[in-house]
Structure 1
Amino acid sequence: MENVELASGITLGVSRVGAGPAVLLNGGLGMPALVWELCGLTTSLVDAGFSVISYNARGLSPSSAPPAPYSIADMAGDAEALLDHLGITEAIVIGYSMGCYVTQSMLRTRPDLIKATVLFAGLQPSPIGALVGEMEIGLIEQIGEIPQAVLVFEQLMTTLHTTLLQDPATVAGWRDLLSASDGGWASPDGFKGQLTASYAWISAGEPLPEHLAHIDIPTLVLAFEHDLFFPPTSSRETAALIPHSAFAQIDGAGHGGLFTGPGDSIERIVAFCIENRA
């Protein structure tokens, strides 16, 4: 990973591997670029002949963490500026969780940069997502932070699906893993900044039907079967508002399925990118 300073003065930690048409990966809230490698997507895309760009969004070390709050438009601007910096005039853009918000914002401001898109586990937020965001922001405002135990519990309940949550060994392992992590934030402003950006998007009622109707590029929408934040039923209904879109449900996983059980999502994404390479 190298540090890239954008024209705005924001620095992003960026990884670029492979050769061929560009694919940009927009990660979720607090999601380091390394996750794309761990789940196998980066390698699969490189093997299929793509140049893959991933990055740690503002707020995540080693990227800049300007003072909070951030907006989704701010984060989309970073992604757009990164493509400009790299001299990329067109890319397939894949968004995961909050990265779907960033991708949709890019489609509104710089549609020229995106030839096709995958919106993965992040198209239609649920009331659960709004409640969690409201709770977290409320705790920060009241006591200045979110206690580690609260974060671990929330991440366990939303990352794992019901079957895994009923297995004591799995819960213990993930509890220990999450408890040992500092989140990788560059500063407290990084966490608060990304959190406020996500919550503002949800609070605004996004995605709005009129915005979805204007997405005029090939779009693949994926949703995990047991995702509490982005349930497949509502994601399917919302995907129907996007012209030229296709929807698929990935069975047997919750919101953290990218880590716990991606099913055939990697194969679906690679096939979609190959189909839209030309």
Structure 2
Amino acid sequence: MARVDLGDIALEVREDGDPEGAPLVFANSLGTDLRLWDKVVPLLPKGLRIVRYDMRGHGGSDCPPAPYSMDQLVRDAEMLLDHLNIRDSVFVGLSIGGLVAQGLAVKRLDQVRALVLSNTAAKIGQPAMWADRIEAARAGGIEALADATMDRWFTRAFRASEELVFWRNMMTAQKPEGFIGCMHAISGTDFYTPTSGLRLPALGIAGSDDGSTPPDLVRETAQLIPGSDFQLIRSAGHLPCVDQPAEYARVLNGFLQKTGHLR
């Protein structure tokens, strides 16, 4: 892993695979860091340049004062890909990472040749809901949101496993200012119109038991892009790359093959 200085922000970045391979970029969800993809990366085919990064305010990346805007988060991704000289990537975004993916594709189609919109939407929740969560986090820290978030993120079976502790700890270990900043960014984002103007290969991935971005919401967003695909992963929650990594990798690998991204 390395910290990449982009001028006004430094981001934690990890690269795996073939440095000369076809670029595959992952953007994580609210409350997680680039370890979100640890189970999936080893299941991906050779010949890929795999790039993961921590969103601003998360993991090892800088944490400026809240609030953040979606424009800032999209610009972070844009500057990172420019810094790494990445063009024509397949960009995989989960939850808030999926909002970044949509915004980046609208802004820089040279950087994104195909989209994977995982457990996300063109608009996630309503401003009043996010205002309540921001107020709760200001008053009681991320801990105040943790249990309800785990209920939305994971299936009942996964919540009964010992692994739940790892993901709860990851969420509560994030910097409150960064968590709140990103909630502000989600609250202010509605990409229905710009995303409906996109014309590129796209795949929507949903978890059958996702309490944050239910399957119908993910499907609706994917269908904004003509010719898009949609895959439902059974017995999975908001982070299917965690609770069903083999199936997630199978679906992602199929999309990479379909789009001819493997060299």
Give TM-score scaled by structure 1 length: 0.84
- 1:47-85 superposed Cα distances (whole Å, 9 cap, x missing partner): 331000101111123211111111111111111101110
Aligned partner of residue 230 in structure 2, secondary structure: strand
Mapped to 2, the partners of 1:147 and 1:107 lie a distance apart of 31
- Tell me if 1:266 matches 2:249: yes
Q: Distance in 2 between matches of 1:34 and 1:87?
A: 23
Quick one: structure 1 residues 44 and 131, their matched pair in 2 at CA, closer, same or farther if it must change by over 3 Å?
farther
Q: Does the 8 Å contact 1:48/1:274 carry over to 2?
A: no
CA contact (8 A) 1:101 1:123 kept: yes
- Structure 1 residue 12 and structure 2 residue 11: aligned? yes
> Cα deviations across residues 100-152 of structure 1 (Å, max 9, x unaligned)?
0000110121122111110011125565x7665332112245x3x4362x323
User: Which residue identity does 1:12 align to in structure 2?
Assistant: L
Counterpart of 1:43?
Answer: 42
CA distance in 2, matches of 1:109, 1:25: 17
Aligned equivalent of 1:122: 120
Q: Do structure 1's residue 211 and structure 2's residue 212 form an aligned pair?
A: no
**What is the aligned partner in structure 1 of residue 184 from structure 2?**
196
8 Å Cα contact 1:133/1:195 also seen in 2: yes
Which amino acid is the alignment partner of residue 18 of structure 1? G
Q: 1:237 maps to what in 2?
A: 220
Letter in 2 for 1:33: L
Q: Distance in 2 between matches of 1:108 and 1:253?
A: 29
Change (3 A) 1:236 1:61: closer
Moved over 6 A (4+): none
Structure 2 CA distance, aligned partners of 1:52 and 1:126?
Answer: 27
* Worse-superposed segment, 188-197 or 71-80: 188-197
Q: 2:58 aligns with which of 60, 67, 84?
A: 60
Q: Does the Cα contact within 8 Å between 2:96 and 2:186 map onto a contact in 1? A: yes
TM-score, normalised to structure 2, is: 0.88
1: CA distance, partners of 2:142 / 2:66: 19
Distance 1:182 1:114, change over 3 A: closer
Q: Deviations over 1:21-67 (max 9, x none)?
A: 11111111122111212x22x2233x331000101111123211111
* SS of corresponding position for 1:111: coil
Amino acid at match of 2:79: A
Aligned residue pair count = 259
The percent of aligned pairs where both chains have the same amino acid is 27
**Counterpart residue number, 1:161:** 155
Contact (CA 8 Å) 1:253, 1:262: kept in 2 or not?
no
Q: CA RMSD in A?
A: 2.3
Letter in 2 for 1:17: D
Alignment partner for residue 99 of structure 2, among 98, 101, 124?
101
Unaligned runs of 5+ in 1: none
Q: Which structure would you say has the larger Rg?
A: 1
Q: Does 1:146 align with 2:141?
A: yes
On the 8 A contact 2:66/2:181 being kept in 1, the answer is yes
1:23 is aligned to 2:24: yes
Asked if the contact 1:60/1:190 (under 8 Å) is kept, the reply is yes
CA drift at 1:183: 3.4
The structure-2 alpha-carbon separation of the partners of 1:178 and 1:113, relative to structure 1 and needing over 3 Å to count, comes to closer
8 Å CA contact 1:156, 1:174 repeated in 2: no
5+ long unaligned stretches in structure 2: none
CA distance in 2 between partners of 1:228 and 1:181 (Å): 19
Question: 1:13: Cα distance to partner?
Answer: 0.7
Partner of 2:207: 224
In 2 relative to 1, CA 217–180 (structure 1 residues): closer, same or farther, beyond 3 Å?
Answer: closer
